[in-house]
Amino acid sequence: MKALQIAATGMKAQEQNVEVISNNVANMRTTGFKKQRADFQDLLYQNLRRMGTETSDAGTIVPTGVQIGSGVKLASTARIMSQGSLEQTDDSLDIAIRGEGFFQIDLPDGTTGYTRDGSFERDADGQLVTVDGYTVNPGISIPENIQDLTISNDGSVQGVDNTGTTQQLGQIQLARFVNKAGLEAIGDNLFLETDASGAPETGNPSDNGFGSLQQYFLEMSNVDAVTEISDLIAAQRAYEMNSQIIQAADEMYSTTTNLR
């Protein structure tokens, strides 16, 4: 019976849905994490009676027809790029983006990664780096004698040395994309450019279209616990209903077999 196979696709789809939800929940406290949503599409249809075909010489046509679907499939796991809440910290190298934009990160293979995670550190050479030691682009060097570091909303980095002299240390730039949901997540809070995202446009924070920076803050995950729990319950109910269809179809098949 086709109902067995159709319900099986429904169970598989909801299993994948739960996997997406579980990843969202697991990253509720991941800095700069952007949640995903499972989107589904129906599978091909079998036309038992095609709509629009003529039923008489008078030109009457079938108004609706008969189509039997073959199930469901996972079409995409769309990433929701909405702003996460900002959480205050005590670290002068913690920076949050409020609005559009991504920090640019130089990866070891020579490519550029993009992130909303602004929990930066200073390496042995004084360079501003991520927690994995990847350099923030453009490179900003913070001398050892800097005692007071200030990062303004427009990305200007200044420091006061031990003599009280203010030094201009660099300028943080951001990148933005036409379709930021088209970025490829590679883990470690990093994204890569793809053909779907389009090429990056770079600029200074607070410029036209770019977000501003907030020192002493980090952007938290945009995962909402209540929404994820309700989605999980809905997925569980859908999975149970598909399993009941499989059980009912199996009983019908067994009854038909016994009659023979």
What would the two tokens of residue 91 be? 């670290």
Q: What percent of the chain has pLDDT over 90?
A: 77
Q: Quickly count: other Cβ atoms within 10 Å of residue 106's Cβ.
A: 17
Confidence of residue 259 (pLDDT cuts 50, 70, 90): low
Average pLDDT, the chain: 93
- In the chain, alpha helices (H): 2-26, 225-259
**What is the per-residue pLDDT for 253?**
76
CA–CA separation, 106 vs 129, rounded Å? 9
CA–CA separation, 148 vs 94, rounded Å? 14
Amino acid at 259: L
What average pLDDT does the segment 134-151 reach?
Answer: 91
Whose structure tokens read 């098949």?
A: 253
**What is the per-residue pLDDT for 19?**
97
* Residue 51 or 78, more confident: 78
DSSP label of 83: P
What average pLDDT does the segment 98-126 reach?
Answer: 95
Q: Find the length of the chain.
A: 260
What would the two tokens of residue 50 be? 């095609």
pTM, rounded to two decimals: 0.86
Encode pLDDT of 89-102 as tens digits: 999 999 999 999 99
Q: What percent of the chain has pLDDT over 70?
A: 98
pLDDT of 65 strictly over 80: yes
What would the two tokens of residue 155 be? 């990305």
